Amino acid sequence: MAKVLYSATMSLDGFIAGPSGDMSWLADYLGDNPVAAGLVEQIGALLIGRRTFEGDDPHRGTEKEGALEGAWQGPQFVVTHHPLAPPPPGITYVTDLESGVAAAAAAAGDKYVNILGADIARQALTLGLVDEVLVFIAPVLLGDGTRLFAFPGGAKIGLERMSQSEAPLATGVWYRIAR
Ligand SMILES: NC(=O)c1ccc[n+]([C@@H]2O[C@H](COP(=O)([O-])OP(=O)(O)OC[C@H]3O[C@@H](n4cnc5c(N)ncnc54)[C@H](OP(=O)(O)O)[C@@H]3O)[C@@H](O)[C@H]2O)c1
């Protein structure tokens, strides 16, 4: 049965995108990371927020453009209230988060559903649909942007560390959700 993983590369001050969705900073901290490279094999499907799907790609125009630096191929489910018809090849639009998670899990088999996007991750986390969180901490401060997890008024979600890793460009921390 698929597990649901929320993964992202985050600035030390907690942002996964800079102001206005700026992702140009990220290119300096990608690559040379065995944990990130190994994750590619473990992902069976992506569940992607529409803003992430249509957002900046720090590798746009290069061979690394696309999901997980262009290294991953497979079913991608894009969460949106406004699906375009027809979807681009390989993309399935889903208009409801819970059914989107279920569809992605069915497609992922016994691999991970990897969530990309903080808004949909926040909803999935607070609905109890996420099993694990993997964050690569980049040595940079951004000051503003999209937080890894933002919940007005606060929400406490306990985590248990599974592993941590050091790569030249980022520090990885991998947690399971405490149940
Ligand atoms: N650093 C990293 O590793 C990393 C990884 C991933 C993403 N990012 C960046 O982080 C930012 C993430 O953006 P974000 O968190 O604001 O948005 P997001 O989660 O990527 O996408 C949000 C969009 O998803 C749709 N949506 C959300 N909840 C929904 C629901 N319950 N039902 C139907 N549709 C729903 C809506 O699309 P509609 O408006 O179309 O309805 C909403 O605008 C982007 O800039 C992205 O490039 C960074």
How many Å lie between the centroid of ligand 1 and the Cα of residue 160? 25
Q: Compute the mean pLDDT over every residue in the chain, rounded to the nearest whole number.
A: 96
Please indicate whether residue 125, judged by its CB atom, sits closer than 6 Å to ligand 1. no
- Mapping DSSP onto H, E and C, the string for the chain reads CCEEEEEEEEECCCEEECHHHCCHHHHHHCCCCHHHHHHHHHEEEEEEEHHHHCCCCCCCCCCCCCHHHHCCCCCEEEECCCCCCCCCCCEEEECCHHHHHHHHHHHHCCCEEEEECHHHHHHHHHCCCCCEEEEEEECCCCCCCEECCCCCCCCCCCEEEEEEEEECCEEEEEEEECC
What are 24-33's pLDDT values in tens digits? 999 999 989 9
Mean pLDDT of 132-142: 98
pLDDT score of 85 more than 90: no
Residue with the bigger pLDDT between 124 and 88: it is 124
Ligand 1 site, residue 26, Cβ cutoff 6 A: yes
Q: Considering the chain, what percentage of its residues have pLDDT values greater than 90?
A: 88
Confidence of residue 63 (pLDDT cuts 50, 70, 90): confident
pLDDT tier for residue 68 given thresholds of 50, 70 and 90: confident
Q: Is the CB of 56 under 6 A from ligand 1?
A: yes
Q: 171: CA distance to ligand 1 center in Å?
A: 24
Tens digit of each residue's pLDDT (9 = 90 or more) over 90-108: 999 999 999 999 999 999 9
Whether residue 70 is predicted with pLDDT greater than 90 in this model: the reply is no
At 133, the pLDDT band (50, 70, 90 cuts) reads very high
From 177, 112, 120, select the one nearest 148 (Cα to Cα).
Answer: 120
pLDDT at position 144 over 90: yes
For the chain, which domains are there? 3-177 (3.40.430.10)
- With a 6 Å cutoff on the Cβ, whether 114 touches ligand 1 is no
**Is residue 7 lining ligand 1, measured as CB closer than 6 Å?**
no
- What is the C-alpha R_g of the chain? 15
- Mutate-to-test residue for ligand 1 from 26, 46, 51, highest number of ligand atoms within 8 A of CB: 51
Q: Is 33 in the pocket of ligand 1 (CB under 6 A)?
A: no
Q: Looking at ligand 1, which residue's alpha carbon is closest to its atom 12?
A: 117
Reply yes or no on whether the pLDDT at 61 is more than 90.
Answer: no
Q: Does pLDDT of 60 surpass 90?
A: no
Considering the entire predicted model, what is its pTM? 0.97
Is the pLDDT score of 66 beyond 90? Answer: no
